[in-house]
Amino acid sequence: MLKIKISKIKFFLVSFIVLLNLQTNSISQTVPSSFADLAEKLMPSVVNISTTTIIKTQSNQFPFQFPPGSPFEDMFKEFGTPKERKSAALGSGFIIDEKGIVVTNNHVIQDAEDIIIRVNGDKEFKAKVIGADPLSDIALLQLETKEKFIPVKFGDSDKARIGDWVIAIGNPFGLGGTVTSGIISARNRSIGLSRYEDYIQTDASINSGNSGGPLFDMNGDVIGINTAILGRSGSIGIGFSIPSNSAKLVINQLIEFGETKRGWLGVRIQDVTKEIAEVEKLDEPRGALVASVAEGSPSFKGGIKAGDIILEFDGQKIKEMKELPIIVARTKVGKKVELKVWRNKKQISKTITLGRLETSKDFKVAEKNVPSKELLIDNLKITVRKLSKEDIKSRKLPNQSTGLVITKIENDSPLINSVEVNSVIIEAQKKKIRNIDDLNQAVKQVLSSNQKTILLVIYNSENQRRYIGVKLD
C-alpha cells in the first residue's frame, strides 16, 4: 500500500515538472534570443536621408545713417542686406516599392532644396518629393534611378498589442544602420503635435535622426513610422510612431493623387466632461461635443447643431473626442454616413454627406481689445464687459452675437481652470446672455438647485465656440 502511494507521488511530481517545463518553454519562445537575422533581412530596405535647406537671414541693421559720399558708407553698406546660408538635416526612411519609393516624415524633407538618400550604407541617390502631408507628417519620395530595390511591407498596426516586441532601424545622429529594440509601451497616444494623433508609444530607443524610420514587428512588417520623442535631450525610453494603418491611407492617396483627400464634417468639437454629461443627462462622459458648426458645411446641411454630442459615426462608437477627427479623415469624401447624436437628452440620427477637408474654409482668428465699462460678477469672481459691435467685427463673430467679454479672472474663481481672459460668455444654462443680469440670474438659478453645475457656452480667445461645465460651490 505504501509503495502504491509513493508511486502516485512520484507520478504527480514528474507530471508537474513536465508541465512546468512546457509552460516555461512556451513563454521563452515569445522572447527573441537574437534580432540578428531579422535586422540583417531588413537593413537593405531602410535608408538614411540628408537634406539641404537654404535659409534667408537679415543681417543686423546698423543704427546710424551716413550722408552720400561718406567714407563710412561703403564700409557699412552690407548692414541690413539679406543673407543666405545652407542648413543640413538628417532623417530616416524606408523603401516600399522596388522602383525606389521611400516613406519618411514630412518634417524631415520640408522646404528642402536637395534630398540625398543613402541606401544600404554606401549607395547615394538624389530624390524628389512625390507628395507630402503636413497634417499627418508623412512624405513620399522617389529615388532618381532605374535601379531595383528591396521593399518592406506594412503590417496591421491594429493587431499590435501592448508588450509586443518591436525593433527600430534608422539614422540617429547620422549613425546610419542603427538597430534598437523594445516593446510597445502604449497605444492611441496624443501628444499635441497634430489633429490626427493615434501614436504607438515604444521604449525602443529613438533619437534625433530616427524620424521617418520604420518600427518593425517580429514578422519584419512595418507597424509604425517613428516620428517623435519625449524630451529634446535624446531618448529617455519614450518614442512615438504613426500607426501603419493610418499611414497607409495617406500613402495610397499620395501615390494616386499626389495629395490627400480627407473627409470633412465641418464642426469644431470638444471633450464631454463629467459636468457636461451630468447636465445633459448622458449616462457617462463619452462622444464628441459639437462646439460650433461651420456655415454651409456638410454638418450644417445635415442638421447638426451646436450642443449636439456625436456618439457614433458611420457605425463606429465615439468614446473620446479625439477619435472622431481620425475616423472622419479616414472616410471617403462624398460618402453618406449616419451619425447618432445626443440632443435634448435623447438620441437621434442624422445623415451627412462628407465634404473634403483640404478644400474647406478654415476658421479665421482675429483679435482686438476694445475698452468699455467693466463690472464684477461676484458669484463667479470674474470681471466682464458687454460684447460690442467692434468686438464682433474684429473677431469675426456671427453678426447677431450677444454676450460678455471676460477681462479678469480671480485666482479663487470657479472658472479659473476652465476659461481664459478675452473669452466671451454667450450662453448660460442654454439661454442667451445679453447682459450681466442674464448671467447673474443663471448663476442664482444653479446655486439654488441641487445640481450646482452651470453650463456655459463661450468663444475662447481664439474665437472658437466651446461648452464649459463648471461646479459652483
Concerning whether 211 is annotated as a catalytic residue, the answer is yes
List C-alpha distances in Å: 95 to 165, 226, 230, 256, 285: 22, 14, 26, 17, 43
Secondary structure class of 263 (helix, strand, coil): strand
Concerning whether 203 is annotated as a catalytic residue, the answer is no
- Cα of first residue to Cα of last residue in the chain, in angstroms, is 79
List C-alpha distances in Å: 402 to 43, 216, 423: 62, 55, 13
Cβ atoms 147, 99 nearer than 8 A: no
Look-up: residue for cell 464631454?
272
Look-up: residue for cell 441641487?
450
Active-site choice (45, 92, 107, 241): 107
CA distance 105 to 210: 10
CA distance 133 to 225: 14
Taking every pair of Cα atoms in the chain, the longest distance, rounded to a whole number of angstroms, is: 125
DSSP state of 154: B
Concerning whether 28 is annotated as a catalytic residue, the answer is no
Which DSSP string do the residues of 406-422 spell out, in sequence order?
EEEE-TT-TTTTT--TT
Take residue 472 and report the three cell numbers written for it. Answer: 459652483
List C-alpha distances in Å: 417 to 162, 256, 396, 421, 467: 33, 46, 26, 11, 14
Beta bridge partners of 290: 269
Crossing angle of the two packed helices 244-257 and 323-330, in degrees rounded to 10:
40
Take residue 333 and report the three cell numbers written for it. Answer: 469624401
Going by C-alpha positions, the residue among 398, 387, 396 that lies closest to residue 439 is 387
Active-site choice (45, 205, 211, 244): 211
The helix or strand, by DSSP H or E, that contains position 245, with its residue range, turns out to be: helix 244-257
Active-site choice (45, 133, 137, 308): 137
Secondary structure class of 108 (helix, strand, coil): helix
Residues marked active site are found at 107, 137, 211
